[in-house]
Amino acid sequence: MRRFYGLVSLALALGLVAAASAGATVDPLVRVSGPSPFPAGCNTSANGTVNPNAEVEPYVASNPADTRDLIGVWQQDRWSSGGSQGLLTAVSSDRGSSWTLPTPPPFTHCQGGNATNGGDYDRGSDPWVTFGPTGDSYQIALTVTNDLVTSAILVSKSADQGRTWGPITTLKRDSDPRFLNDKESITADTLDASRAYAIWDRLDIKNPADPNSDFFGPTWFSRTTDGGATWTKAKAIFNPGLNNQTIANQIVELPNGDLLDVFDLILQGNTFVAYIRSTDHGKTWSKKATIVDRLGAIGVVDPMDVAPVRTGDILPEVAVDPRPGTANVYLVWQDARPSAGHADQVVFTSSSDGGRTWTPTKLIAPDGIVQSFTPMVSVASNGDVAVSYYDFTSDTPTSPTLDTDYWITRSSDGGATFHPRERVTPASFDMRTAPVARGFFTGDYEGLTPSAEFSPFFVAANSGNTANRTDVFATLDHAPFPTATSAARRHRAHRAAGVSRRSPGRLSGGARPTTIR
């Protein structure tokens, strides 16, 4: 039987950085995060347990004006009941080889937030960052009070590649327990540096005290047309109706200027990958959502005891080919249908006409029943596509830990075929060391951005080190690609070692609002 929390040598965790990369095209990892900068006791609450030094849910963006410039953001000191003590920022000017941590916007009390500067909140969550075409950048945050009643969507702008950040702008704030803002993202316009778009879902629960209460879950939106000096009054742009909702809204811009807002559409407990379109830079949006496919995730578990692993199971991720004259859109998500309902695995679909038609959804992680999860997709300036994700390939029934790795795979033909995947983590880490927040948790999403080629930006657990459960790591993936023969040899070796099986998962159902925080 698995030894659930047995200590693993700290040298193994340190080896995650020191060891040579397991894949010839993936550089050695760079540890981005460090000890928590927040003073002890900066925020205390009886609602949940805080995990000092635990980083989760990173995101990263690269500067289209100079792809050497990267900005990464993440949750710092994660709470078990939702959110973190604050959101930190890191910047790199050498494609992620080295990083510095500037003073981030004061989104929460632990970061110096207060009623005067706009950061009068106990916890921060769902960090997201974006670069505009001339190098200006924006980051967005969901902030909440300790009782999780008051929630707000906050934005800050940087004019110097993330080294300093301007005042906080509040896009939406609710203190009525009927309302909850959730899962926001922000996207700078790729064609006009004066425009940027913020989007999220906002639950309207008729009776918060009743778990079976009727509710609405529309998509809310705000934009700037003057480089962040002002933002439009936030408003609902799509409402799926009573007891339905959207979540994980994310805007991408096609080279012709069309905007697609891609999201998880939940209709009476059934989930779909869907989108709405704007052809006028966000002034108006299509009233009806276009459904791309079912989202058939069942959730991820430790196969030894069915302990939940919290993943991006209801978050489709989207990327667009930036080359002028193209209309290529790429989507990834978790889905159990390729394994006949046994395990979530990473699937992929693409469109060459701006989302009007889509290729059949296909599995791009290894087949079988190994769980793969929390995928991210990105497109380079030459049109190459990359997908990163976690999986349990290295985990075996005899392992005393939940051995987890991070992977990347690339396509040079628009997703028609993918090169053999490369292992990003040189040594497996124990997922059970990650903080628990409705499951062992490294984030509902991770980061992946073009930077020369591709820069993964992700969280791994420091196996056995409960004083420093997780850290953020970065690396660079580049050509040449591995051969199919060498990849097949590695895959056979993993299979010979005995891959883990999982118990049947849980299907979502019932018309109850979904939140992730």
Average pLDDT over residues 445-471: 96
Average pLDDT over residues 364-387: 95
Q: Is the pLDDT of residue 303 over 60?
A: yes
Average pLDDT over residues 225-240: 98
- Omega of the bond prior to 480 within 30 degrees of 0, cis? yes
116-152 core/surface letters (b: 16 or more CB in 10 A; e: else): eebbbbbbbbbbbbbbbeebbbbbbbbbbbbebebbb
Band (pLDDT 50/70/90 cuts) for residue 24 is: low
State what percent of residues in the chain have pLDDT above 90: 86
Which phi and psi angles does 142 have, rounded to 5°?
-95, 125
Q: How far apart are CA 455 and CA 412, in angstroms?
A: 17
Q: How far apart are CA 234 and CA 170, in angstroms?
A: 10
Band (pLDDT 50/70/90 cuts) for residue 503 is: very low
Q: How far apart are CA 442 and CA 433, in angstroms?
A: 10
Mean pLDDT of the chain: 91
The one-letter code for the residue type at 162 is G
Q: Is the pLDDT of residue 113 over 60?
A: yes
- pTM for this predicted structure: 0.92
Span 346-370, pLDDT tens digits: 999 999 999 999 999 999 998 888 9
State what percent of residues in the chain have pLDDT above 70: 90
pLDDT of residue 369: 87
Q: Is the pLDDT of residue 493 over 70?
A: no
pLDDT of residue 484: 59
- Domains of the chain: which residue ranges? 1-31+307-484
pLDDT of residue 513: 83
Q: Is the pLDDT of residue 230 over 60?
A: yes
Band (pLDDT 50/70/90 cuts) for residue 517 is: confident
Span 236-253, pLDDT tens digits: 999 999 999 999 999 999
The secondary structure element, H or E, covering residue 485 is: helix 484-497
Q: Is the pLDDT of residue 18 over 90?
A: no
Q: Where are the beta strands (DSSP E) in 279-328?
A: 290-294, 300-301, 308-310, 317-320
Contacts with 197 (C-beta within 8 Å, 6 or more apart), sequence order: 186, 187, 188, 189, 221, 222, 223, 251, 259, 282
Residue with tokens 């995947």: 421
Q: How far apart are CA 33 and CA 24, in angstroms?
A: 25
Q: Where are the beta strands (DSSP E) in 336-484?
A: 345-351, 362-363, 372-379, 385-391, 403-411, 422-423, 429-430, 440-441, 447-451, 453-461, 470-474
What's the burial of 281, exposed, middle or buried (CB within 10 Å: 0-12/13-18/19+)? middle
Q: Which of 19-28, 241-250, 321-330, 466-475 has the lowest mean pLDDT?
A: 19-28
- Spatial contact of 128 and 185, defined as CB atoms under 8 Å apart: yes
pLDDT of residue 497: 37
Average pLDDT over residues 138-146: 98
pLDDT of residue 17: 45
The one-letter code for the residue type at 30 is V
Q: Locate 340 and state its tokens.
A: 């006949």
Closest CA to 183 of 198, 162, 168: 198
pLDDT of residue 127: 98
Band (pLDDT 50/70/90 cuts) for residue 153 is: very high
Q: How far apart are CA 248 and CA 352, in angstroms?
A: 23
| Cα separation of the two ends of the chain | 33
Which phi and psi angles does 492 have, rounded to 5°?
-65, -35
Band (pLDDT 50/70/90 cuts) for residue 3 is: very low
pLDDT of residue 182: 97
